[in-house]
Structure formats: C-alpha cells, structure tokens
C-alpha cells in the first residue's frame, strides 16, 4: 500500500510517515504544502491520503475539493486541530472519508487508515481470501489450506496488494508504484524475483498455482478454477 501525508509541520509529518512504514508497511510520500500535495495526489496512485487543513499555498479543504472535482476517489483522512462540528461537516462535505482531531493517538490513526484502505478495496474485515489462501492483514499472517506461510516484508506486501486486486491483471508499474516511494525505478528488476519466491512458497504439494503471468501485461492472483 502507498500513502501520501500532506502536513506542513515537519516533525509530525515525519512521525506519521515513520508509523505507517514501520507499523503497517506502507510506502509513504510526504508533502509540506497544499499545491505540491495536490499535484502529488493527482499524479500518483495512492491508497490513502492523510491531509492537514492548515497548509501553505493551498488549504486542505480547497485541495480536497479540487481532488474530488477531478474524480480522484482515493480515501482521504483529514487531520486538524479544528474539531468543532462545523469543521467536521465542512470536511465531510468537501469529500473526506474520515476526520481525526489533533492531538491523536498513533494507534487510532493507524486503525482508521487501515479501515479506510479495507473499505476502498471492498473488504469488511482484516482477512483477504483467495480460494484457500487467507491473508490476515492486521497480523500480517498468511496461510493456505491451514498451512502457515512465512514471508519477508516485501513479499508479503506484494501478495497483499495482488490479493486486494484478485482476479485483476496488475501491471509491473502499478506494483512498483504501490510497493515503493518516489525512487521506485531503481527497484524495477526485483518484481520477477518476488513473484518467483511467492510461487515457491504458495504452491506446494500439488496445490494449484494462484499467481498467473499475463505476458506483456502483468500478474494476476486468481481464484483457483477461474
């Protein structure tokens, strides 16, 4: 998953980015002003945007309205020190998906982000299922047919992303954009390695293969028998 943090307080922005990277394994980009944040949100495929309202150059509500007018549907979590009812209503009316008042607990921020991402992919709980493959995204635990599969972080994140888009062909560029931050081009040769490793670990003892290669197009995590 990939997140954008638009926050002009450098220390808070760094702390949020660190939490998202370390606690839930997101790739995270950070912007310190509204105009730059709007450009980034328009041009990159984020899974969630965390947006402060009091920003230089372009305020958060104006940024959000422009995003929604451009048909950008990325979930947006507003962070602000203004927690009055009128402020909450204004944020929701502008197109936000959730609202968190500063100061906030790290655990609540993470829980809300994960809930918004789950909802955007049509999942009601932490478990993503593809046939007998079960990915517990809360615990980052993977099983197939009850067999535990231990994955290093990048293999896990790739598998989770493919699972959230199961039965869709996902291009290599889309994968790289969601696994890495702005310097993702230098990792362009690793996806094939991760896919090969996942296949070895997922498909054992005659189990049907789950990851299908569509040459020249990308990869699909496919329900068995489809």
Residues 133, 116 share a domain: no
* Residue with more model confidence, 219 or 189: 219
Domain region containing 216: 127-221
Residue 138 confidence (pLDDT) = 83
Residue 85 — very low, low, confident or very high, per pLDDT cuts 50/70/90?
Answer: confident
Please indicate, yes or no, if residue 205 is contained in any of the structural domains. yes
The predicted-structure confidence for 121-136, as pLDDT tens digits, reads as follows: 887 778 999 999 999 9
pLDDT, position 121:
86
Q: pTM of the full predicted structure?
A: 0.81
**In sequence order, what DSSP letters do the residues of the chain get, joined into one string?**
-EEEEE-S-HHHHHHHHHHHHHHH--EEEEESSHHHHHHHHHHS--SEEEEESS-SSS-HHHHHHHHHHTT----EEEEES--SHHHHHHHHHHT-SEEEESS--HHHHHHHHHHHHHHHTT-SSSEEEETTEEEETTTTEEEETTEEE---HHHHHHHHHHHHTTTS-B-HHHHHHHHS-TTGGGGTTSHHHHHHHHHHHHS-TTPPP-EEEETTTEEEE--TT-
* Residues 97 and 131 reside in one and the same domain: no
Tens of pLDDT, residue by residue over 5-63, are 999 999 999 999 999 999 988 999 999 999 999 999 999 999 999 999 999 999 999 99
Q: Does 194 lie in the same domain as 138?
A: yes
Q: Is 115 found in the same domain as 96?
A: yes
Residue 10 is predicted with a pLDDT of 96
Do 83 and 99 lie in one domain? The reply is yes
CATH number of the domain that 186 lies in? 1.10.10.10
Res 176 pLDDT > 70: yes
Count of domains forming the chain: 2
Domain end call among 85, 120, 155 = 120
Residue-wise pLDDT for 131-171, tens only, equals: 999 999 888 899 999 999 999 988 999 999 999 999 999 99
């Amino acid at each position: 998953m990939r997140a954008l943090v638009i926050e002009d307080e450098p220390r808070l922005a760094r702390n949020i980015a660190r939490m998202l990277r370390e606690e839930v394994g997101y790739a995270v980009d950070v912007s310190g002003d509204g105009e730059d944040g709007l450009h980034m949100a328009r041009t990159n495929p984020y899974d969630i945007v965390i947006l402060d309202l009091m920003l230089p150059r372009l305020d958060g509500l104006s940024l959000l309205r422009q995003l929604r007018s451009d048909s950008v549907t990325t979930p947006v979590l507003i962070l602000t020190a203004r927690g009055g009812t009128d402020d909450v209503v204004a944020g929701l009316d502008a197109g936000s998906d959730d609202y968190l008042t500063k100061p906030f607990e790290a655990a609540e921020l993470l829980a809300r982000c994960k809930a918004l991402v789950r909802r955007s992919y049509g999942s009601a709980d932490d478990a993503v299922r593809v046939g007998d493959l079960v990915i517990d995204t809360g615990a980052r635990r993977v099983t197939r047919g009850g067999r535990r599969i231990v994955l290093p972080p990048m293999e896990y994140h790739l598998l989770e992303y493919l699972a959230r888009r199961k039965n869709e062909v996902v291009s290599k560029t889309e994968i790289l954009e969601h696994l890495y931050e702005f310097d993702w081009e230098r990792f362009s040769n690793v996806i094939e390695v991760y896919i090969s490793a996942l296949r070895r670990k997922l498909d054992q003892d005659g189990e049907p293969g789950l990851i299908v290669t569509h040459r020249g197009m990308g990869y699909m995590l496919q329900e068995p028998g489809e």
